[in-house]
Amino acid sequence: MTEYTSLEKIRLAKIEALRAEGIEPFPHRAERTHTSAQAIAAFEKVEKDTSQAAPAEVNAMLVGRLRAVRQMGKITFAHIEDGDGRIQLFLRANNLGEDKLDFFNRIFDLGDFIQATGFIFRTRTGEVTLHVQDFKMLAKAVSPLPAAKDETTEAGQVIRHAALEDADLRARQRYADLAVNPEVRQVFRTRAAILRALRQFLDERGFLEVETPILQPIYGGAAARPFVTHHNQLKQDLYLRISFELYLKRLLVGNLERVYEIGRDFRNEGVSYKHNPEFTQLEFYSAYADYLQVMELTEQMVAYVAEKVLGRCKVTYQGHELDFTPPWQRLEMRQGLKETAGIDIAAHPTAESLFAAIQKTGRMPDAQATRGKLIDFLVSEFLEPTLIQPTFLYDYPRDISPLSKSKPGDPLTVERFEAYVAGFELCNAFTELNDPLDQEQRFLEMGRDYKADDEEKHPMDEDYLRAMRYGMPPNGGFGMGVDRLIMLFTDKHSIRDVLLFPQLRSEE
């Protein structure tokens, strides 16, 4: 049974009062002739038109949520907010009748949805306002919104008073956050625009958008722990995908030359300011391309999205001025580590030798780490923090890249790059391994096993190998955490701020 606060009980009583007067507090239908912005624009257009002796009257029926009410005896001012913005309502006893004005003052609360009819005029202080001749309750708000009050200073600066700020509450009750913080709505409009621009860019270049299974019998394409579920009728465990990679590359075998997918990946790992258990991933694969071509496509794509969404290639992120204008800086991993860590990884072909070299720097890597993991450690310790401007870090160690093609003449290195921006990884791409024999060997090196009944071992994806054996064209592939791109373009430090409903511990 819901427990109501004293504030809610007052509002519930108003619902009762409405019903007692034969008025439905939650009517089925609403009508509107203009949005708030349309009404203001229509009025301003008529106002500017000097061809008529007297400006034509602009009548409007508006809807929205009550966000401010100022009662002044025989008149009341209010503001409503709709999808387009805000507009002021003016209610006067002369025009409405005292009973009707009293009814408004008595029944309506902040947060209620209202439909108001009247004509548009400009108040003495110059605000375009609806002179209300009639109004109707559209939906009563039982609970008061976590109130935010705005103050517009003479400089035009908006100061929000008593805004909803508690980070947990804002994420948990995103509906309330959205209702009272307009800039949060803007973040999600930007998010939609970014997704639209990404699709547009890829569609224009002949990529086919596809959808592959979220429920997978064998997960792969990344190193992450999966979520496990179970299909009752098939009597089989299934995994929520951690990547789309292996399914998209099967499509290249099927002669679809350029494919992409935008969707959710699920990783059963720690939650942090840049990790959510489910997140939006973009992957594309392009037959006959290598990682250098994918690099060019990447910088073009991100710059395209920036231009489309923000109208510029320069972005301020957490105090950094980032410039996404191509070409981005290219940095060979070996060279970058020479410069920042003072270690030439090519001089250390074994984990033992590299481990000893790292120890001399005073850092303490995991003693069990493979050579690749040690290099990864060096990158995150020395290199990553220095990569603020968009940078392609390329040529990765082979043993941490089981799906990438080796670099000719360098068996320890693969043709792979990651783009770093503002110190974090934005995307990951490589010349894809298309040799089924090499691929099988790599899987075996990773500890994949043909005995699928062994709980500890990750089973071999035999179907993927079978697909490869039919022949996979040489191709370049790309994966990007879309949420991180959105963080960059909306200047948000936490992934939670760009997800409508981020993962949180359940209440109670």
User: How far, rounded to the nearest angstrom, does the alpha carbon of residue 447 sit from its chain's CA centroid?
Assistant: 35
Mark 442-481 with x for binding to RNA (rule: CB under 7 A) and - for no binding: ----x-----------------------------------
Contact 278, 228 (CB under 8 A): no
- Where in 215-234 is the site for RNA (CB under 7 A)? 220-224
Concatenating the DSSP letter of every residue in 123-190 gives -TT--EEEEEEEEEEEE--SSPP---EEEE-TTS-EEEES----HHHHHHTHHHHHHH-HHHHHHHHH
Q: What are phi and psi of 428, to 5 degrees?
A: -145, 130
Q: Which is nearer to RNA, 162 or 192 (CB)?
A: 162
How many helices (H) and strands (E) in the chain? 15, 21
Mark 303-342 with x for binding to RNA (rule: CB under 7 A) and - for no binding: ----------------------------------------
Q: Which is nearer to RNA, 94 or 255 (CB)?
A: 94
Q: What is the dihedral of CA 492, 494, 500, 503, to 10 degrees?
A: 180
Q: Which helix (H) or strand (E) holds 167?
A: helix 167-172
Q: Which is nearer to RNA, 309 or 448 (CB)?
A: 448
Q: How far apart, in whole angstroms, are the C-alpha atoms of residue 91 and residue 97? A: 10
Instruction: Quote the least distance from Cβ 148 to RNA, whole Å.
Output: 6
Tell me which stretch binds RNA (CB under 7 A): 262-270, 297-305, 334-342, 461-469.
Answer: 262-270
Q: Which is nearer to RNA, 207 or 417 (CB)?
A: 417
Q: How far apart, in whole angstroms, are the C-alpha atoms of residue 218 and residue 463? A: 10
Task: Tell whether residue 402 is a contact of RNA (CB under 7 A).
Answer: yes
Q: Which helix (H) or strand (E) holds 198?
A: helix 182-204
Task: Tell whether residue 93 is a contact of RNA (CB under 7 A).
Answer: yes
Q: How far apart, in whole angstroms, are the C-alpha atoms of residue 121 and residue 133? A: 13
- Give Cα separations from 315 to 318, 334, 391, 421 (angstroms): 10, 29, 15, 11
Task: Tell whether residue 408 is a contact of RNA (CB under 7 A).
Answer: no
Instruction: Quote the least distance from Cβ 329 to RNA, whole Å.
Output: 21
First to last CA, the chain: 15
Q: Which is nearer to RNA, 129 or 280 (CB)?
A: 129
Q: Looking at residue 474, what DSSP letter applies?
A: -
Among 22, 48, 50, 126, contact with RNA (rule: CB under 7 A):
126
- Identify the CA nearest to 488 among candidates 309, 355, 331: 309
How is residue 70 written in tokens? 């100022």
Q: How far apart, in whole angstroms, are the C-alpha atoms of residue 241 and residue 283? A: 13
How many CB atoms sit inside 10 A of residue 395's CB? 20
Binding-site residue total for RNA (CB under 7 A)?
70
Q: Looking at residue 404, what DSSP letter applies?
A: B
How is residue 155 written in tokens? 């400089």
- Where in 30-59 is the site for RNA (CB under 7 A)? none
Mark 355-384 with x for binding to RNA (rule: CB under 7 A) and - for no binding: -----------x---------x---x----
Q: Which is nearer to RNA, 51 or 125 (CB)?
A: 125
Among 15, 41, 163, 313, contact with RNA (rule: CB under 7 A):
163
Instruction: Quote the least distance from Cβ 72 to RNA, whole Å.
Output: 4
Instruction: Quote the least distance from Cβ 309 to RNA, whole Å.
Output: 24
Tell me which stretch binds RNA (CB under 7 A): 143-151, 302-310, 350-358, 465-473.
Answer: 143-151
The contact set with RNA (CB under 7 A) reads 5-7, 10, 68-75, 77, 79, 88, 90, 92-94, 109-110, 123-127, 129, 144, 146-152, 161-169, 171, 220-224, 267, 269-270, 272-273, 275, 366, 376, 380, 400-403, 428, 446, 493-494, 496, 504-505
